[in-house]
Amino acid sequence: MSKLVAPHGGKGLVCCLLEGSELEAEKEKAKTLKTIPITGRANGDLIMMGIGGFSPLTGFMSKADWKGVCENFLLSDGTFWPVPVTLSASKEDADSINEGDEITLQNKAGELMATMKITEKYEMTEADKKWECEKVYKGKGEDSADDKFWKVALEDHPGVKMVMAQKDYCLAGPVKVLSEGDFPEKFAGTYMTPKQSRAIFEEKGWSTVAALQLRNPMHRSHEYLAKIAVEVCDGVFIHSLVGSLKPGDIPAEVRIKCINALIDGYFCKDNIVQGGYPLDMRYAGPREGLLHATFRQNYGVNRMIIGRDHAGVGDFYGLFDAQDIFDEIPKPDDPGKRLLTEPLKIDWTFYCFKCDGMASLRTCPHQKEDRVILSGTMLRKMLSDGGDIPDHFGRDEVLTILREYYEGLTEKVEIKMQSHAAGAKMK
């Protein structure tokens, strides 16, 4: 019997990816159905439903599920879920489909990713989109103040821009997933399914596993967070997003190379597993931190490392909102419907010259000027601008890889700094 945390939802791993003769038959059927184009976000969502990463979801959400998730963090059946997983469609496509119809979902590369049985279609008005943004993406930071949010969010919040750009209708219903896209080949050895990660953890004899979420290159602060977790858990799962990011972010291939350099030089390999997952970032701040914990439960993780400004965007969120939100979510009576993966809350970390090592606000008594403030956004900004990197900001092996990447760019995207990224709010 497995010692790992049970998958979310109380139904085991729910995998919608077809195999064998059933897959081949459904692929042929898919060619005969009406085809609907999908976004990169929906493509990643489909793959996660296919491999069991979004257990217990079996398809895109109904309006009742969408409303319950936005308002109360709960699906209509009472299962915890933190962010909407919906499928956007144009009015023209929605008008051509009836409930009970089957359709094919095609990604931007032209690949037929899934078939779907329509159980509901519902309008997503401008007011609905704004309501979702205010419930899911609005935080407690300066840019989320009532008199400021809509003045800045449409320009500066990629998650809000993504929601507001959705089409006029949503389609709901169960899916049969036909493909994992190019992830297994493109990220061979890193991309893995929940079944694969669970098998690795069980082979190692782990029962307590912490996950480190990464969308930026792994710098000294990330390394320190992972090592704190190694001390209190059986092992750490360094789990990188390998889906799409916003312009200016560093590609997954480069980030994976950086992680490999760190694992080779600075970790006991028996206690570390590197993996990748196929989602696009939603940039939902604290809600995304909850999503990170929810699908990590399916991967066999029972502790989610949540540090400073986890999944943050600009100044829309307070530094530790993503930690606090774990104390505010509902806990359904049925344990299977609860979020079982708990946060491993760690304070702001940095290198302190006086401490002569990595430290946090809980351990270091010194002043801001004694510290090298570590931030993925700051690192990208300095590298993009060709600036010098302060001592102890990152490992030399990692900085060499990143400099080579930036030197090879022909076009650079301006990177906007957060006010607290530069340490403005550090005492």
What positions carry a catalytic annotation?
A: 215-216
Residue-wise pLDDT for 10-55, tens only, equals 999 999 999 999 999 999 999 999 999 999 999 999 999 999 999 9
Domain pair 20-179 / 184-277+347-407, same fold: no
Q: Rounded distance, CA 129 to CA 167, Å?
A: 10
Mean pLDDT of 63-78: 98
Of 289, 270, 107, 263, give the one whose Cα is nearest residue 183: 107
Mean pLDDT of 389-417: 79
pLDDT at 414: 57
Predicted confidence (pLDDT) at residue 425 exceeds the cutoff of 90: no
Predicted confidence (pLDDT) at residue 279 exceeds the cutoff of 50: yes
Higher pLDDT, 292 or 312: 292
pLDDT at 1: 80
Q: Which two tokens stand for residue 171?
A: 């389609």
Q: What distance, in Å, lies between the first and last C-alpha atoms of the chain?
A: 48
Residue-wise pLDDT for 203-249, tens only, equals 999 999 999 998 877 888 899 999 999 999 999 999 999 987 767 77
Residue 228: which residues within 8 A CB-CB, separation 6 or more? 344, 346
Domain ranges (residues) in the chain = 20-179, 184-277+347-407
Predicted confidence (pLDDT) at residue 427 exceeds the cutoff of 60: no
pLDDT at 250: 83
Higher pLDDT, 124 or 415: 124
Mean pLDDT of 154-175: 97
Q: Is 157 exposed, middle or buried (0-12, 13-18, 19+ CB in 10 A)?
A: buried
Q: Which CATH number applies to 20-179: 3.30.70.3270, 3.10.400.10, 3.40.50.920, 3.30.930.10?
A: 3.10.400.10
Q: What is the CATH number of domain 184-277+347-407?
A: 3.40.50.620
- Give the model's confidence band at 376: pLDDT under 50 very low, under 70 low, under 90 confident, else very high: low
For strands 342-345 and 272-277, give the pairing: unpaired
Q: What angle do CA 132, 134, 139 make, to 5 degrees?
A: 130
- Give the model's confidence band at 413: pLDDT under 50 very low, under 70 low, under 90 confident, else very high: low
Mean pLDDT of 302-316: 91
Q: Rounded distance, CA 139 to CA 18, Å?
A: 39
Q: What angle do CA 209, 215, 218 make, to 5 degrees?
A: 75
Q: In terms of C-beta distances under 8 Å and separation of at least 24 residues, what long-range contacts does 189-193 make, across chains too? A: 190/240, 190/242, 190/256, 190/274, 190/275, 190/276, 191/242, 191/275, 191/276, 191/277, 191/278, 192/275, 192/276, 193/51, 193/52, 193/53
For residues 212 and 239, the answer to whether their CB atoms sit within 8 Å is yes
Residue-wise pLDDT for 344-366, tens only, equals 999 999 999 999 999 999 999 99
Residue-wise pLDDT for 104-118, tens only, equals 999 999 999 999 999
Question: What count of other Cβ atoms lies within 10 Å of the Cβ of residue 98?
Answer: 8
- Reported residue count of the chain is 427
Q: 3-state SS of the chain?
A: CCCCCCCCCCCCCCCCECCHHHHHHHHHHHCCCEEEECCHHHHHHHHHHHHCCCCCCCEECCHHHHHHHHHHCECCCCCECCCCCCEEECHHHHHCCCCCCEEEEECCCCCEEEEEECCEEEECCHHHHHHHHHHHHCCCCHHHCCCCHHHHHHHHCHHHHHHHCCCCEEEEEEEEECCCCCHHHHCCCCECCHHHHHHHHHHHCCCCEEEEEECCCCCHHHHHHHHHHHHHCCEEEEEEECCCCCCCCCCHHHHHHHHHHHHHHHCCHHHEEEEEECCCCCCCCHHHHHHHHHHHHHCCCCEEEECCCCCCCCCCCCCCHHHHHHHCCCCCCCHHHCCCCEEEECCCEEEECCCCEEEECCCCCCCHHHEEECCHHHHHHHHHCCCCCCCCCCCHHHHHHHHHHHHCCCCCCCCCCCCCCCCCCCC
